[in-house]
């Protein structure tokens, strides 16, 4: 046979199975969801609250829970996990500040990112102070140098392009939250080796 005959259009009985209907949302389900989430991701108290609230909202739309009752469960679960130290905004802030500084993020950008995660301003300030020590200005400059390396700005560009790209590079550093003064200092560095030293926090050679 050449395969041109009538085809069997009967559906594969295993192909179109109806999705299994999910049961009612329970408080224990939220607790397990919280543990699973925290096992995979670092989170703030507010971040965990948002994750569980989305789960409640989905279940409420599917008529698997009473929205008000389940929302109260969310607050209970979040409060208990916070009290047990399973979610801790201070530890989250300290870890995130350290990782973002290593990436070359400005203090302003870091503060914005953490506020978006629900971290209180005083915790952000404390984490930045802990990370930067007594030399906040030097830490900001070193971070800007790391960003220049990562984005291939300033001294990383071919020498014949630097002058033409200077305004664009200044704008890029400004958008990243660095002050004009810091951006100018970064772009005044003339070679990649000196930029590397500055990114590591080493003092620049006297001119």
**Tokens matching residue 120:** 């209180």
Helix 89-103 with 107-116: angle, nearest 10 deg: 140
For the segment 84-134, what is each residue's pLDDT rounded down to a tens digit?
Answer: 999 999 999 999 999 999 999 999 999 999 999 999 999 999 999 999 999
* Burial class of 37 by CB neighbour count within 10 A (0 to 12, 13 to 18, 19+): middle
Give the pTM. 0.82
Per-residue pLDDT of the chain (207 residues; tens, 9 = 90+): 455 555 555 555 555 565 566 789 999 999 999 999 999 999 999 999 999 999 999 999 999 999 999 999 999 999 999 999 999 999 999 999 999 999 999 999 999 999 999 999 999 999 999 999 999 999 999 999 999 999 999 999 999 999 999 999 999 999 999 999 999 999 999 999 999 999 998 877 655
Residues 6+ apart with CB under 8 A from 205: 194
The whole-angstrom separation of Cα 112 and Cα 110 is 5
Q: Where are the domains of the chain?
A: 27-83, 89-132, 136-199
Please give the pLDDT value at position 1. Answer: 47
Distances (CA, A) of 117 to 46, 92, 96, 160: 7, 10, 11, 42
The whole-angstrom separation of Cα 126 and Cα 23 is 44
Helices (H) and strands (E) in the chain, counts: 10, 0
CB of 74 closer than 8 Å to CB of 56 = yes
The enclosing H or E element of 85 equals none
**Tokens matching residue 166:** 């200077």
């Amino acid at each position: 046979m050449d395969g041109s005959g009538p085809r069997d259009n009967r559906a594969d009985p295993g192909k179109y199975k109806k999705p299994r209907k999910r049961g009612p949302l329970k408080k224990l389900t939220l607790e397990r969801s919280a543990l699973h989430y925290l096992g995979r991701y670092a989170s703030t108290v507010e971040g965990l609250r948002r994750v569980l609230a989305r789960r409640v909202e989905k279940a409420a739309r599917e008529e698997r829970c009473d929205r008000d009752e389940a929302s109260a469960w969310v607050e209970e679960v979040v409060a208990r996990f916070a009290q047990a130290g399973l979610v801790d905004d201070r530890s989250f802030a300290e870890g995130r500040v350290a990782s973002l500084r290593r990436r070359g993020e400005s203090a302003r950008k870091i503060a914005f990112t953490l506020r978006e995660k629900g971290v209180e301003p005083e915790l952000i300030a404390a984490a930045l102070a802990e990370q930067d020590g007594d030399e906040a200005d030097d830490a900001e400059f070193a971070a800007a140098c790391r960003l220049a390396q990562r984005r291939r700005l300033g001294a990383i560009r071919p020498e014949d392009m630097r002058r033409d790209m200077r305004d664009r590079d200044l704008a890029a550093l400004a958008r990243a939250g660095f002050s004009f003064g810091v951006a100018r200092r970064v772009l005044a560095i003339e070679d990649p080796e000196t930029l590397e030293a500055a990114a590591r926090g080493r003092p620049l050679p006297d001119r």
